[in-house]
Chain A
Amino acid sequence: MTILAKHASYKLAYDALRAHGVDPFNVRFDSVLSPTEGMLNGRRTILLGTNNYLGLTFDPDCIAEAVEATKRQGTGTTGSRIANGSYDGHLRLEERLAAFYGRKHAMVFSTGYQANLGVLSTLVGRGDHLMLDADSHASIYDGSRLGGAEVIRFRHNSPDDLYKRLRRLAGSPGERLIVVEGIYSMVGDTAPLEEIAAVKRETGAYLLVDEAHSLGVLGATGRGLAEAAGVEEDVDFIVGTFSKSLGSVGGFCVSDTADFDIMRVVCRPYMFTASLPPGVIASTLEALHKLETQPRLRVNLMRNAKRLHDGLGALGFTTGPQANPIVAVVMPDQEMAVTFWKMLLESGLYLNLALPPATPSNAPLLRTSVSAAHTTGQIDAALDIFAQVGRNLNCLPADRRRAGGVV
């Protein structure tokens, strides 16, 4: 370690983790077979932690569109849209996104991370106030630093704490922008958006909702939490990603804000990175079409989420409060979490090991994400594996262990 010596404490923790004979942050699949299965160390493994909510990564129509666009327009754009120009696909996707959300404007970014980086750093700057939920995703924190606005955290999902902090700002100049997420990525809880919208209205702030994990998941037509909570009119900006429910990669922002297009020449994470390749744009357009025309996908997704959430609860595991497609199992300590995760993997079940400080509390999590493409059989197989490992590790409450035994 030389110039990287400053990261010594992380290296120590990472080495200790790898001493278990696993590397949860560097899993190498031999191949990925479908939205729900991969080969890992020669073993067929259920994928229960890949945010592939609608299971569209292997959709034949999405693949066909991507192949066709790649053949017609090439593998990449080799540069940014301000330098190399926009392809018709970029413009069509922006039109389609705006229409889907019923908004005037849409802007596509090359990743969801860059969408947050770009939008947050451009909407607010020096002299403005950015109000972040304390459990915000890293891309939101990083975007907040890029713009130079004063950043204030409020307690996770607490409209009261948000209100208190906005009240403290009364009289000081500058815009206020509230940022929350539709579904929080670690334990799958949703923001109390109706109450937050009320705070927004009362304090004259702007409101941005990151629907990364809720696009295609929540709302009558899949537009996300703002739709589900009935407060779309109060949400000034929606940010999202193509890399979860839409099965590709990229990010976007939609809004009705009048001067929206100025962002295209001032938003650096949009201007100074290569635009999405034609194949990605084409599969995303097709996936958006599927999302809009096949509500059955959302029905299957929520059925699977409920089956997994309820099943884990019945086994005696502690999970998040809501049966959303992200279901996190709380582990008592890191030792148990790593051992549990390793045994799940060896039993043919892949999910995410989430360790502090990435988790919202000091508890490590086994984080699962469910897909519409999972069969009931796969969900039940995953529950069986959880039950077996839980019994082997004495990690289930005593009174539930017998119940687990009959699974």
Chain B
Amino acid sequence: MRETRQLALVASNTPVAGKPVRGEIAAIFEQVLGHPVQITDGTDIVEDLGLDSLGVMNFVMAIEDFYDISIPLDRIAQVETVGDLIHAVEQLRSGVPA
């Protein structure tokens, strides 16, 4: 329930311009972390944003819900930076197989 509400917030508050996926991901990060974040493609999700393994999992599940995709574990393992994540989301949304 909690997560559904959060996602509704994300969906309604997200400015979509330029790099839409990055803006959406930043908004989801802010919802999960509970504070504003500055991210670039080079931002390291664990090192720079301070997410522990549980935090990463919650974050990934929020991303999955938002885009209505499932990111397989081997894909998640390859993701280190925000740029990697954007790439994975864009590939999965366009139907590129794992």
Which residues on A are within 8 Å of B, measured CB to CB?
134, 144-145, 150-153, 155, 165, 168-169, 172, 356-357, 361-362
A150-B98 in contact given A144-B73, A165-B70, A168-B70 (Cβ < 8 Å): yes
Do A155 and B52 touch across chains, with their CB atoms under 8 A apart?
no
Chain A residues, Cβ within 8 Å of B70:
152, 165, 168-169
Measured in the bound complex, the distance between the Cα atoms of B73 and A134 in whole Å is: 11
Q: List the interface of chain B (C-beta within 8 A of A).
A: 52-54, 57, 61, 68-70, 72-74, 97-98
Contacts of B52 in A (CB 8 A): 356-357, 362
User: Which 8 residue pairs spanning A and B have beta carbons closest together?
Assistant: A151-B73, A150-B72, A152-B70, A357-B53, A165-B70, A150-B98, A168-B70, A151-B72
Chain A residues whose C-beta falls within 8 Å of the C-beta of B68 in the assembled complex: 168
Interfacial chain A residues near B57, Cβ < 8 Å? 134, 153
| Chain B nearest Cβ from A89, distance in angstroms | 38
- Given contacts A152-B72, A155-B61, 11 further A-B pairs with CB under 8 A are A134-B57, A150-B74, A150-B98, A151-B72, A152-B73, A153-B73, A165-B70, A172-B97, A356-B52, A357-B52, A362-B54
Q: List 20 A-B contacts (CB under 8 A).
A: A134-B57, A145-B73, A150-B74, A150-B98, A151-B74, A152-B70, A152-B72, A152-B73, A153-B57, A155-B61, A165-B70, A168-B68, A168-B69, A168-B70, A169-B70, A172-B97, A357-B52, A357-B53, A361-B54, A362-B52
In the assembly, what is the distance between CA of A145 and CA of B57, in Å? Answer: 18
What is the bound-complex CA distance between A153 and B73, given in angstroms?
Answer: 8
On chain B, the residues within 8 Å of A145 by CB distance are: 73
A153-B74 Cα distance, complex, nearest whole Å: 11
Give the nearest-CB partner of A152 in chain B.
Answer: B70
Who on chain B is nearest to A144 by CB?
B73
A144 — which chain B residues lie within 8 A by C-beta?
73
Q: Chain A contacts of B61 at CB under 8 A? A: 153, 155
Tell me how far the C-beta of B81 lies from the nearest C-beta in chain A, rounded to whole angstroms: 19
Contacts of B73 on A, CB cut-off 8 Å?
144-145, 151-153
Which residue of B has the minimal Cβ distance to A169?
A: B70
Q: How far is the CA of A172 from the CA of B70 in the complex (A)?
A: 13
CA distance A356 to B53 in the complex (A): 9
Q: In the assembled complex, which residues on chain B have CB atoms less than 8 Å from the CB atom of A172?
A: 97
What is the minimal beta-carbon distance from A158 to any residue of chain B, in angstroms?
10
Most buried by A among B68, B70, B72, B97: B70
Bound CA span A153–B77, Å: 13
CA distance A169 to B54 in the complex (A): 25
